[in-house]
Structure 1
């Protein structure tokens, strides 16, 4: 790490982080080619992550506590799901995003390490995530951390196709 960069600090996101999370979620969505991001607002994130029934949890990466103005560097959004095969809850990572200017600093790795510690504290034996087949660099990154590709493909139905299925 260059002398000008402060160490990374990973922490659980809180209500005050909703605007930052909304901005980073929109950045990731745009990066993945999703055009409709208007619904990703700070108010929506407040409800989704910090409302009466939170739909996800988030970790935030930022410059270390010695930084004068800690900048957000990335986030990881996750939620617990149940796996009958594991016989309990596991963690599903919905999003992992590192701001372009922060890439190469180990932010993604630090976020996943923090999540692994969280999994251990909760007694959860698996972290699962999806990665696009054409994203070879990210696949190599996950493999370097010990993630395996189980040979399964994600199947998804949404929007109009979901509506049509429900009407059949």
Structure 2
């Protein structure tokens, strides 16, 4: 079995969109998928890409992906890589593809002088948590994720200094 990792191209957009939907289904979050394929393509491959994607293949067939972007650590004074999505199709699990995708991102982080590689994992996803721990990842128990979206984002974004004070 030949395992390979490659950077995604605009021609991969239908594949990426399907892998995102497959991931959402696995995470029981399919109802949350709202992206428009064309907008996703523009955000990934347009004039100002916001994220990067690598495709994992087994014997030339795409079986997984990792979508990531740079963040920044003020404490380290260096960038980091944030892994937004990692997914390997069920039939390819156990092949080493997930580890290869993470190893590829770790190598990119080192090449780009990043301080760290980090991501979030659903607390119920024990298989993933165990897999990540075996690779040397640690849970950040002292941190709680926060999010502002939808109507709350619109309200916060519309607030002016005068209306906040």
User: With structure 2 as the length reference, what TM-score do the two structures score?
Assistant: 0.87
Report how far residue 166 of structure 1 moved: 4.7
Task: Provide the alpha-carbon RMSD of the alignment.
Answer: 1.7
Q: 1:124 to 1:166 in 2, by over 3 A?
A: closer
User: Residues 68-147 of structure 1: matches in 2 within 5 Å?
Assistant: 70-147=60-137
2:144 to 140, 153, 164: 153
- The residue aligned with 2:56 is 61
Report how far residue 83 of structure 1 moved: 1.0
Name stretches of at least 5 consecutive residues in structure 2 with no aligned partner.
Answer: 160-165
CA distance in 2, matches of 1:84, 1:124: 12
User: With structure 1 as the length reference, what TM-score do the two structures score?
Assistant: 0.86
Name stretches of at least 5 consecutive residues in structure 1 with no aligned partner.
Answer: 1-5, 65-69
User: Residues 6-17 of structure 1: matches in 2 within 5 Å?
Assistant: 6-17=1-12
Report how far residue 80 of structure 1 moved: 0.3
Report how far residue 34 of structure 1 moved: 3.1
Q: Between Structure 1 and Structure 2, which shows a larger proportion of helix residues?
A: 2
Structure 1 segments of 4 or more deviating over 3 A?
A: 163-168
CA distance in 2, matches of 1:147, 1:38: 30
| 8 A contact 2:72–2:79 mirrored in 1 | yes
- The residue aligned with 1:3 is none
